[in-house]
Amino acid sequence: MSAPSLVGAEWEVEVGPVAHGGFCIARHEGQVVFVRHALPGERVLARVTEGRVGDRFVRADAVSVGQASPHRVVPPCPWSGPGRCGGCDFQHVDLAEQRALKAAVVREQFSRLAGLDVDVEVAAVPGDHDGLDWRTRVEFAVDGTGRAGLRRHRSRDVVPVEDCLIATRPVVGSGVLDRSWPGVAAVDVIDAADPAEPVLVPVPLERARERARPQGRDRRGGDRRYRGPQPDAGRDDAGDGGLVREVVRDGDWSGEYAVAARGFWQVHPGAAPTFLHRVTVLLEAAPGDRVLDLYAGSGLFTARLGELVGPDGIVLGIEGDRRAVENGRANTGHLPNVEWRAGRVDAELATLVDQGVGADLAVLDPPRTGAGPEVIAHLAALGVRRAVYVACDPAALARDVATALTHGYRLASLEAHDAFPMTHHVECIAVLERAD
């Protein structure tokens, strides 16, 4: 028989350190409690939301605060808080402390999973307004009455909202929250450079069911960073919002990218130019270099790298989403030294190893689950001397760095960027170099 449920139990607890995932750690009579809406050092009343007697840990919400942290603020969003929208983790925390908490998580993950002491700070990404008004791509869930909203934390329940403060004003101004959506499971809203008006893409209920289990892509090859249902490989753009155009500028350089409306693109307006600049600076690609761009998407890094290595070099983009590869080929069509392969990254790299092909440099921008040990081993076998790894999950990154250490690499540098303010997510960029 199942152990008794603890859901609804309320305990006064002293809140300890922040944990990966937007929680802080507390204990009650020896029971580990992961508490949301709390801050380290606070004393709160925690209401259990998940867990049973005997569980290794339970989850809870801080429903009242007895002793508040000096970093606690009134959440700017009225739909943020226990039992409400689950999209933001840190609306109750001042912005500087949010970044300090994220840095603490990065340090803890690298210490625990890679055995490395790292000194890292989380830098602001330009383009938001005090941590708000930055998300250019939002998937709004639709409830049984046809009303659009956002989901509760770890739930399929839809919370009706009148605004989303982290979304850009064009996303909210699109009218997605003002109309009814009968027969629709979700509505994606995309605020791109072109077209000037946001693109709204309804996802019909039957189509959402068909796409609940994407075929032919997994964490090593497909791109699951975008949380909505993914475009099916080989489909046309009908019903998926077609193509949108993104423009990225880095100093005097600028590039235009065609991207599937529901495909992957960085959601913070400053993220793509920031990461492009940092990747190119850190990679130090020179004319004649052979570069692998792994999980290349629609070619954000590929196009710039193709220019940097010149006609005597080569860039190979590998991506699991065939439509993204088609767009990537179009985005880099002016560069004869850029090639593309559509397939699982680990499988494509294994083919290169079997063929005796070598590479000088690599860029990795994998989904949240990370690249995995096979990909890291293949990079070593290909002779890659330096790799720049862009990661949206510090735990996955730390595990892959630990693997890289066993293959003769060292962590040359690590930096972090706040591309997702008000949430626990943080983007890291690591440089791996051959230790010799």
From the annotation, which residues make up the binding site? 266, 295, 319, 365
**409-418 and 427-434 strand pairing:** antiparallel
Strand order in the sheet with 199-204: 158-160, 148-151, 137-142, 184-190, 199-204
Residue 123, judged by CB atoms within 10 A of its CB (0-12, 13-18, 19+), counts as middle
392 is annotated as an active-site residue: yes
What CA–CA distance (Å, rounded) separates 279 from 390?
A: 8
Q: Are 134 and 145 in contact (CB under 8 A)?
A: no
Helix (H) or strand (E) holding 127: none
**Residue 208 CB neighbour total at 10 angstroms:** 15
Strands 386-391 and 427-434: antiparallel
Q: Which two tokens stand for residue 96?
A: 């500087």
Q: Which residue has the tokens 């997702």?
A: 420
Read out DSSP for 146-158? SBEEEEBTTSS-E
Q: Are strands 338-342 and 386-391 parallel, antiparallel or unpaired?
A: unpaired
Nearest to 347, CA basis, from 314, 383, 374? 374
CB 60 within 8 A of CB 48: yes
| Spatial contact of 136 and 168, defined as CB atoms under 8 Å apart | yes
Q: Of 77, 164, 392, 428, which residue is the catalytic one?
A: 392
Q: Which of 82, 96, 77, 78 is nearest to 23 (CA)?
A: 82
CB 387 within 8 A of CB 377: no
Instruction: Find out whether 299 and 333 touch, Cβ atoms under 8 Å.
Output: no
Known binding residues for S-adenosyl-L-methionine: 266, 295, 319, 365
Mode of pairing for the β-strands spanning 158-160 and 148-151: antiparallel
And the tokens for 376?
């890291």
E strand or H helix at 14, and its extent? strand 10-19
In the 8-state DSSP scheme, what is residue 402?
H
SS3 365: coil
Q: How far apart are CA 78 and CA 133, in angstroms?
A: 15
By annotation, the residues acting in catalysis are 392
